[in-house]
Amino acid sequence: MTVVELTQSLNIAAPELALAVGSMVLLMIGVFAPKDSANSTVTGLAVALLIGVLGWMVFFDEQGTAFGGAFVQDAFAYFFKILTLVGSIVALVMSVGFAREEKFDRFEFPILIILATLGMMLMISATSLLSLYMALELQSLALYVIAAINRDSARSTEAGLKYFVLGALSSGMMLYGISLVYGFTGHVGFTEIAAALTGQERSVGLLFGLAFLLTGLAFKISAVPFHMWTPDVYEGAPTPVTAFFAAAPKMAAMAMLVRVVTDAFGTVTGDWQQIIIFISIASMALGAVAAIGQNNIKRLMAYSSIGHMGYALVGLAAGTVAGVQGVLVYMAIYLAMTLGTFAFILAMRRKDEGNVESINDLAGYAQNNPLQATVLTILMFSLAGIPPLAGFWGKWYVFLAAVEAGLYPLAIIGVVASVVGAFYYLRIIKIMWFDEPESKFVSAAGELRLVMGLSGIFVVGFIVFGGPIAAYAENAAKALF
């Protein structure tokens, strides 16, 4: 690689570069700042850095491949990177109040968020199995630490440990898959793999490799049957961390999954389609059924996110531009709904008890705070997929793509699952509006109310501005085909 190529590559990867350098600068600031203000200084600067990078991504459109084909910046990457950055920024902003109340003031937390975000952005842009794996490890390692960051809480530590052990196992399986794919195609680059796969008879070994690769990826988006860690980790980790886990990493992992199967294995659609269909059905079913018995709202959100990943995969299973477009739209809507819901969960705070997590604590929310209860109700309706809210449109796009691709059973199962799944969202609404009031929550912090409001507006207004988003998503999806 010549110096000129390297400079061009760095230019293309400027947002990632800014995050990498910025995280190190922030680390230095955190170490040398006065101890009592280190956390707030670093958090503020971290948010500023992330917003700066987001602005850069929005206003500068520097596309191309870099680093000898290991990294690509295309419309698809832009779409998912913007989602990821939004997820990280909102999660970080929402953590401020929590950190103040719970004495959770480690300046490393925002830095780890930035590093995890860097890993995610690299994952989204990875066009080689090597860079994919390394970016994934960068992201995962940061997430393991973030999950366990509240060392004084046994649950947080347990969550971190559980996530680490299972995550390491899935990484191992994925690596095994990668080595098989490399062994049978002779390449790690996606385009080279795709080229090697055209027109030749595929071996069993390659299928094994593909299956192992998908196993690892399915773990990262917590799709059934590799979802076991999700409820425990969501429940154990501090709530802002859970909000982060439910938002940004899901975007990156889904982007990676989509890119791998369409880019590297786009010529062997039949081989991965059945796996994706199975994972999708299983996730939708489990997400709908298992959430019914949950009383802890974080656990419930965990099952909810498993289900949503299943719906998103319906679009991927279609394997068409429309399908991938559906995935993109679905993920954008999922992000908005999840962040909004977690703003409410973070606001579930009583003066004497601190943060509460039981669904029954929401009883009488409507009497105590009708405005917020209304917004939460709208979010719940949207999560359940009631028209004309955003959640409905997300499902509309993916199911439509599945039907167009001839996957009728998949679409039907999806609709049935969303009807079943609507039950537990409606249960929350029932508890809020019709159960006897409990004591009031303390009034929510300003940043939480902002997030609630924004996600409410997004969910309601999607019918108005959904068109441009869908068009942008279609443009992004075309970059892959």
- Residues forming contacts to other proteins in the complex (CB under 8 A) are 1, 6, 9, 20, 24, 27, 66-68, 70-71, 106, 108, 111-112, 115, 118-119, 122, 130-131, 134-135, 137-138, 141-142, 144-145, 148-149, 151, 160, 176, 180, 183-187, 195-196, 200-206, 208
CB of 179 to other proteins, least distance (A): 9
Q: Which is nearer to other proteins, 143 or 451 (CB)?
A: 143
Tell me whether residue 17 is exposed, middle or buried, using C-beta atoms within 10 angstroms of its C-beta: 0 to 12, 13 to 18, 19 or more. middle
Alpha-carbon distance of 371 to 305, in angstroms, equals: 25
**Identity of the amino acid at 356:** V
Contact 190, 181 (CB under 8 A): no
Q: Which is nearer to other proteins, 33 or 403 (CB)?
A: 33
CB of 255 to other proteins, least distance (A): 17
Alpha-carbon distance of 286 to 369, in angstroms, equals: 33
CB of 361 to other proteins, least distance (A): 31
Alpha-carbon distance of 136 to 123, in angstroms, equals: 6
Alpha-carbon distance of 2 to 215, in angstroms, equals: 37
* DSSP string over 92-138: HHHHHHHHHHHT---THHHHHHHHHHHHHHHHHHB-BHHHHHHHHHH
Q: Which is nearer to other proteins, 150 or 382 (CB)?
A: 150
CB of 13 to other proteins, least distance (A): 8
Q: Which is nearer to other proteins, 138 or 327 (CB)?
A: 138
CB of 182 to other proteins, least distance (A): 8
Q: Which is nearer to other proteins, 195 or 471 (CB)?
A: 195
CB of 131 to other proteins, least distance (A): 7
Q: Which is nearer to other proteins, 176 or 278 (CB)?
A: 176
Contact 277, 410 (CB under 8 A): yes
> Of 250, 270, 262, 273, whose CA–CA distance to 120 is shortest?
250
Q: Which is nearer to other proteins, 138 or 286 (CB)?
A: 138
CB of 191 to other proteins, least distance (A): 13
CB of 159 to other proteins, least distance (A): 13
CA torsion angle 195 404 277 323 (round to 10): 60
Q: Which is nearer to other proteins, 267 or 296 (CB)?
A: 267
β-bridge partners, 189:
128
Length of the chain, in residues: 481
Q: Which is nearer to other proteins, 76 or 184 (CB)?
A: 184
Q: Which is nearer to other proteins, 20 or 422 (CB)?
A: 20
Return the residue matching tokens 């609709």.
415
* DSSP string over 420-479: HHHHHHHHHHHHHHHSPP-PPPPPPPHHHHHHHHHHHHHHHHHHHHHHHHHHHHHHHHHT
Contact 351, 463 (CB under 8 A): no
Contact 454, 378 (CB under 8 A): no
CB of 331 to other proteins, least distance (A): 24
The CA-atom distances, in angstroms, between 324 and each of 18, 120, 163, 261, 481 are 29, 19, 29, 11, 10
Return the residue matching tokens 């937390």.
109
Contact 96, 43 (CB under 8 A): yes
Q: Which is nearer to other proteins, 146 or 322 (CB)?
A: 146
Tell me whether residue 32 is exposed, middle or buried, using C-beta atoms within 10 angstroms of its C-beta: 0 to 12, 13 to 18, 19 or more. exposed
Q: Which is nearer to other proteins, 196 or 290 (CB)?
A: 196
CB of 134 to other proteins, least distance (A): 4
In the DSSP assignment, the letter for residue 201 is P
CB of 236 to other proteins, least distance (A): 15
Reply yes or no: is the peptide bond before residue 225 cis, omega within 30 of 0: yes
CB of 203 to other proteins, least distance (A): 3
